[in-house]
Amino acid sequence: METLVRIAEALGRFSARFVPSSFAIAVLLSLFTLGLAVGWTGTPAPSVLDAWGAGFWELLSFSMQMALVMFTGYLLALTRPVRMLLERLAGLARGPRSAVVLMALVSMGLAYINWGLSLVASAMLVRFVARRRPDVDYRLLVACAYFGLGATWHAGLSASAPLLVATPGHFLEKQLGVIPIDRTLFSPFNLGLTLAAVAGLTVLAWAMHPSPERTVRVDPALMEQFRDFEPPTRPADKSPALWLDFSPLLNVLFGVLGLAWFARTLWLNGGFKALNLNGVNFLFLTLAVLLHGTPARLLKASEEAASVLHGIVLQFPLYAGIYGIFKATGLTERIGQLFVSLSTAHTFPAIVYLYSGVVNYFVPSGGSKWAIEAPYLLEAAHALGVAPEKVVLAYAWGDMATDLIQPFWALPLLSVARLDFKDILGFLLVAFLFYLPLVTLAFLVWG
């Protein structure tokens, strides 16, 4: 146990010294991808530059979705009922080790249900747990809040690729038909591997907590920023405009309409399996409007909620530029061909898993790159005699594997926690070094 702590701390010291900021990582990855596209695919440098610049705007709608995930979730967390719920949940932690175990379980459990929900709720819970348990190692606590995005989301109920191929009319239906989720998400293999990953990472979180004298606690100045939200005071003026701003009338009307639309949408589209990122954002916004009670309170809370969006706004376009290079230059196919050339029928699922993880580090798209990679991966699987559901699951697990060591998805969490990625990378590297061999071995055995 102490050995794990020393390894994590050594990796943490290394990352603090040599790993730059999240923005610098995005720039370095952009430069590396530009050079790789020119040198490996033979695409002329001006064309690669054009693809990079045009790619900046490829993910605008997704960037706005992510900004709204964080904004609406934060807005909801500032309401009195949700704060009470988070306080009660944080109170389950009876010590520093149980605090990180609680954080890991909540993060991975919620990510299995919906990755957007995990991203927001875990970030909010960090503040409440840190306030309740100031003796917890704050770096490890924040790292555990990120486990769900790297270990369970693409094996769960919001998994992009498995849900896509289970949808009639999807773009690959002529090639492989419709693959129901009982052959992917609810297969014994996927359920068993998910339980193994959750159990292993939970035990690892418990084991990695440093002794009290080596614990890095939350900065007291930071704790001041975690204080309760103070609603605006009602002025003495009784004008109609101020009456509207401090009356619950408009919030209640909006909330009732929003909940009615949300319930109707689920009813008409098959229940919660139709829940997507837009649906989560709409629900969070509706509940936030309803629970804040008045427009004045909502507007003041929105000022605080907007303070965590800078990382998304600044850095997501850089990753969109990298995505543009991969999409336009054939770089994804080149990497895929390299991995496929090393495969046999037995090793192909494990190779797809590793390949998907490599590409995900450069293009952490949350599954949208499946449209680029799927055709030639499935063609290779057909030639090797590998069942398509194995390719889908291997891709899905690989797509989230390197999220553990990639700052893209951690940006909203880091904004709320007021840390940089290098502060938590030591613990995440230990988790990754446990998790990667475990899942690789599982796909080798399954293959």
**CA–CA separation, 55 vs 185, rounded Å?**
32
Q: Look up the pTM and report it.
A: 0.82
Residue from 43, 23, 19 nearest 33 by CA? 43
**CA–CA separation, 149 vs 282, rounded Å?**
21
Angle between helices 421-446 and 138-145 (to 10 degrees): 40
pLDDT band at 395 (very low <50, low <70, confident <90, very high): very high
Distance in angstroms between the alpha carbons of the first and the last residue of the chain: 33
> Do 202 and 101 contact (CB within 8 A), yes or no?
yes
pLDDT band at 443 (very low <50, low <70, confident <90, very high): very high
**CA–CA separation, 165 vs 304, rounded Å?**
40
Q: Which amino acid is at 41?
A: T
pLDDT band at 46 (very low <50, low <70, confident <90, very high): very high
Find the mean pLDDT for residues 421-445: 93
Question: What is the phi-psi region of residue 239: left when phi exceeds 0, alpha when psi lies from -120 to 50, beta otherwise?
Answer: beta
Q: What pLDDT shows up at residue 273?
A: 59
How big is the chain by its Cα radius of gyration, in Å?
23
Instruction: Say which range, 117-131, 264-278, 380-394, 403-417, has the weakest mean pLDDT.
Output: 264-278
Q: What is the dihedral of CA 97, 116, 227, 211, to 10 degrees?
A: 20
Find the mean pLDDT for residues 299-328: 84
Find the mean pLDDT for residues 188-197: 96
**CA–CA separation, 250 vs 256, rounded Å?**
10
58: Cβ–Cβ under 8 A, 6 or more apart, which residues?
320, 323, 324, 327
Q: From the centroid of its chain, how far is CA 172?
A: 26
209 DSSP assignment: P
Q: For the residues of 44-76, what is the DSSP string, one character each?
A: -HHHHHHHHHHHTTTTHHHHHHHHHHHHHHHHH
> Do 384 and 130 contact (CB within 8 A), yes or no?
no
> What residue ranges do the domains of the chain occupy?
1-225+309-446
Find the mean pLDDT for residues 60-66: 78
